[in-house]
């Protein structure tokens, strides 16, 4: 028998366990050093580079006033935080396009490229790439452990990036599902991804995440 559990709930439970153990370190996804490091990004990119990347749209067009753009940078944690977010976003992009090569015929169609580029930009500029890296990591681990994992349900099925990462198993382009129902800049909250794990397996997944 399978039991419905929200991934967001799993993460909340994990944070609670962390708090109970007195850890004050910020949990981040471990990106391979050969891909890049925050120190390397600080040498490679200026604050102006980050400002332009995080306040413009996916086509590099200015869409915010100067005041609103600076406010957005501040809400994301300032430039110090943006270096980490950019590193995570770039690695997420790599994984997503690696997955896209397995999900779709190559070369990728213009429709798939535009959808992927748009979704990745929204995830980055809302500060969520680390969240998606962690989620895809423990879903992949669950499958490797033999835990029964459902195809995903709800608004998460509208994400092409989630599909390419293996978080969901439903092609949103094929079924004409909207990404904006899942993640919208006008609604700032953690995207809730609902997945079915088998009853025993979900605790295996939680234990794996806790130990990692």
Q: Residue 6: its pLDDT value, please?
A: 57
Prior bond to 130 cis, omega within 30?
A: no
Q: What does the pLDDT average to over 154-178?
A: 94
Q: Does residue 28 have a pLDDT over 90?
A: no
DSSP class of residue 106 equals S
Q: Residue 21: its pLDDT value, please?
A: 39
The secondary structure element, H or E, covering residue 85 is helix 78-103
**Sign of the C-alpha dihedral computed for residues 72, 76, 82 and 88 taken in this order:** negative
> 3-class SS at 132?
helix
175: tokens are 């079924």
Residue 6: strand pairing partners: 194
Phi, psi of 203 (to 5 degrees): -75, -30
Per-residue model confidence as pLDDT tens digits over 129-138: 998 998 899 8
Q: How confident is the model at residue 114 (pLDDT cuts 50, 70, 90)?
A: very high
Selection from 87-101, 140-154, 180-194 with the highest mean pLDDT: 87-101
Per-residue model confidence as pLDDT tens digits over 57-89: 999 999 999 999 999 999 999 999 999 999 999
Q: Residue 50: its pLDDT value, please?
A: 98
Residue 194: strand pairing partners: 6, 153
């Amino acid at each position: 028998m399978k039991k419905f559990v929200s991934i967001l709930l799993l993460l909340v439970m994990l944070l609670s366990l962390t708090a109970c153990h007195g850890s004050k370190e910020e949990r981040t996804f471990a990106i391979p050093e050969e891909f890049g490091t925050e120190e390397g990004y600080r040498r490679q990119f200026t604050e102006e580079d980050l400002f332009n990347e995080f306040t413009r749209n996916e086509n590099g067009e200015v869409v915010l006033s100067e005041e609103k753009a600076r406010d957005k940078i501040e809400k994301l944690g300032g430039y110090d935080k943006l270096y980490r977010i950019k590193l995570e976003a770039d690695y997420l992009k790599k994984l997503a396009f690696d997955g896209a090569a397995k999900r779709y015929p190559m070369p990728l169609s213009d429709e798939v490229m535009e959808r992927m580029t748009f979704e990745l930009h929204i995830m980055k500029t809302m500060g969520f790439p680390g969240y998606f890296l962690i989620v895809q990591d423990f879903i992949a681990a669950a499958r490797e452990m033999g835990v029964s994992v459902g195809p995903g349900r709800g608004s998460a099925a509208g994400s092409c990036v989630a599909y390419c990462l293996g978080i969901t198993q439903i092609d949103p382009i094929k079924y004409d599902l909207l990404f904006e129902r899942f993640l919208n800049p006008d609604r700032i909250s953690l995207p809730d991804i609902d997945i079915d794990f088998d009853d025993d397996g979900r605790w295996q997944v939680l234990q794996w995440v806790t130990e990692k």
